[in-house]
Amino acid sequence: MIVCLAVVGHQNNPLYIQSFTEADDALKLHHMVHCSVDVIDERVDNPKKSGPTINETFLGLLCPTENYKVYGYLTNTKVKFILVTTDLDVRDADMRTFFRRFHAAYVDAVSNPFHVPGKKITSKTFAERVATIVKSFGLTTTG
């Protein structure tokens, strides 16, 4: 189950952060997102360590902690998408599909002429689309 989704801008400023659990550990999830941003930066700045997939947008598993898995995705415009999930076995292909749909929703939200680049995404349509994507992701993996 996806517990948290975050979009971080190219200056590491948060553009969108949404948790999907009723539990009160929003702070812990935000902290985890913050740490994963550092992991992404490390991977991007050390091309020798990350191997041949340096130019891919999907970065894969960032840091497995005891209960959660954190996945990262870096766009061409240096915007980072971070996803925290409690699922133990997630297929790579599912993750990529999820990030592709999320990227499409993000692009549509940013193309809004009333959106100020660098500020948080406040569009309700974006929030609804993201909720739909998260829900359908949950259905495809557990179904």
Partner 1 sequence: MGREVSESCVESLVAEIVSSYCRGFYADKPELAAPRIEAIGFQVGHQLSERYTMDRPRFTDHLEAIKFICKDFWSELFKKQIDNLKTNHRGTFVLQDNRFRWLAHMSVDPSVETTGSIQDPSAMAENRAAQATGLHLYFPCGIIRGALSNLGIPCAVSADISNLPACSFVVRIKA
List of residues contacting partner 1 (CB under 8 A): 10, 54-57, 74-78, 100, 103-104, 107-108, 110-111, 113, 117
Min dist. Cβ of residue 54 to partner 1 (A): 8
Q: Is 121 in contact with 115 (CB distance < 8 Å)?
A: yes
Q: How far is CA 104 from the centre of its chain?
A: 13
Q: Which is nearer to partner 1, 25 or 56 (CB)?
A: 56
Judged by CB, which is closer to partner 1: 25, or 108? 108
The H-assigned helical ranges of the chain are: 26-45, 47-50, 92-110, 124-142
Residue 73 CB, shortest distance to partner 1, in Å, is 11
Query: How many angstroms separate the Cα of 83 from the Cα of each of 28, 48, 114?
Result: 14, 25, 26
Nearer to partner 1, 44 or 127 (CB): 44
